[in-house]
Amino acid sequence: MSSNKDVKTKGLILDAGILEGGGQVIRNCIGLSCLLNKPVKLLNVRANRKDPGLKPQHSSGLKLMQNIFQAELQGGNVGSQEIYFKPNEVNANDTFIADTRTAGSITLMIQISLPALLFSAPPPKKKLFLPPRSKKVILKGGTTVIASPPIDFLREVFKPIVEREFGLHFDINIIGRGYYPQGKGEVVLLVDPIVERTLKSLNLVERGTIIKVRGRVTIAARDTSKQELYIIGERMATAAFKVLTEAALPELEKIQFDIKNIEINLEKIKTGNGSEILLWAETSTGCIISGNDISNQKETPEEVGKNAAEKLIQNIKHGGCVDEHLQDQLIIFMALAEGKSKLVTGPITLHTRTAIHFVEAMSDAKYHIEKLDSSKSLVNMLDIDTPDWDEGMYLIECEGIGLKISRE
């Protein structure tokens, strides 16, 4: 990685093409750029993707951050492989809009904006120290698309964990669903800015026992009748519980699988159609572990339900406190929190290693990764060839920076 001070920009220059080399590098680096008031130049953006450079959701997310932080942005258009971003003062407006005009992922736009929005309270006018007003972001695009977590994952898995563990608050309201290729979904994100305090440290080290498995099937279509849609949803849910029942996992032995625990949500959309299922297991210690799948229009409802159940089973088997999606999304919040955060996970994903590498490059946060039941401590994020990353359980520790925004 290239990382040095640029005389002209007085910011960091980072090679965004290393490790996972995808859009997550943009989201974490731009978020931290705003939070820490650090200009940053990213080279080789999304270099490891089939079509390198910014996609609509990345471009829309960048321009959203440019608006919120009144930033200087160069290279923010679709296709750009080099970005320069210099934040300034927080925009005093309360409402912002980001529209991909495609099926670009809304969840990825939430990922880039949420951490910075939490610390986006503008200075009070005339020394009136009133509580900061909520920030509202209207996001348009795809609510469930391939290669990104679905919007229901953010609401049912991500949100409860980060609110409880870090002590923050936000709401995600789904106005309408949007699927590939049409998009046209809409979500409203409401964030309560934090002032005069820090985020609490994370402590997820004991999974406990699984006490419940829940789920949501969403079927959205323009022309199909509600009765037909409900039958499709029931087929998907029944197939999912059949796989979980037959898995014979010790962790699931005491669970009574009931189809009533899967909500079947029917929606009419203006164009196209889509279907999806999210399953999540809740534990006695408050952990939430999930598995999901989205229909590609070629699979049967039974195949979609089966795929989601198998992903949940895989995430349960490794023994960690989080699933593969939540694992890397907690990294930036651990860095911002005060004190030492601790997280026990299954195999360390490439997304997580990439997140840690770039968060350390952008901030003073320090991470330590230890393989449990092993004397070997793995801390080299750049060691791509280490096979141990794909097995076992790990403890991720982070000494956070304790970010605090003062209104003085």
368 labeled binding residue: no
The model's confidence at residue 309, banded by pLDDT at 50, 70 and 90, is: very high
327 labeled binding residue: yes
pLDDT at 378: 59
CA distance 242 to 223: 29
Tokens 């698309």, residue?
A: 145
Identify whether the C-beta of residue 224 lies closer than 8 Å to the C-beta of residue 180.
no
Provide φ and ψ at 255, rounded to 5°. -85, 130
- Per-residue DSSP letter, 348: P
Question: At residue 277, what is the residue type?
Answer: I
CA distance 115 to 357: 18
Catalytic residue among 58, 169, 318, 351: 351
Mean pLDDT across the chain, nearest whole number? 88
Going along the chain from its start, the domains and CATH numbers come out as 210-317 (3.30.360.20), 324-399 (no CATH)
Average pLDDT over residues 144-154: 90
Identify whether the C-beta of residue 42 lies closer than 8 Å to the C-beta of residue 126.
no
The model's confidence at residue 373, banded by pLDDT at 50, 70 and 90, is: confident
182 labeled binding residue: no
pLDDT at 182: 82
CA distance 259 to 262: 6
328 labeled binding residue: yes
Q: What share of the chain has pLDDT > 90, as a percent?
A: 67
pLDDT at 385: 56
70 labeled binding residue: no
3-state secondary structure of 44: coil
The model's confidence at residue 296, banded by pLDDT at 50, 70 and 90, is: confident
- Bin 44: left if φ > 0, else alpha if -120 < ψ < 50, else beta: left
Identify whether the C-beta of residue 282 lies closer than 8 Å to the C-beta of residue 214.
yes
Q: Which of 63-72, 128-137, 256-265, 377-386 has the highest mean pLDDT?
A: 63-72
pLDDT at 255: 79
Residue 331 pLDDT exceeds 90: yes
pLDDT at 229: 86
The model's confidence at residue 94, banded by pLDDT at 50, 70 and 90, is: very high
- Per-residue DSSP letter, 135: E
For the question of residue 169 being annotated catalytic, the response is: no
pLDDT in tens, 245-279: 898 888 888 877 777 778 888 876 766 688 899 99
Average pLDDT over residues 340-367: 95
Residue 225 corresponds to which tokens in the numbers above? 């009748």
329 labeled binding residue: yes
pLDDT at 6: 45
Average pLDDT over residues 272-301: 91
The model's confidence at residue 5, banded by pLDDT at 50, 70 and 90, is: very low
**pTM of the predicted protein model:** 0.91
pLDDT at 225: 83
pLDDT at 4: 42
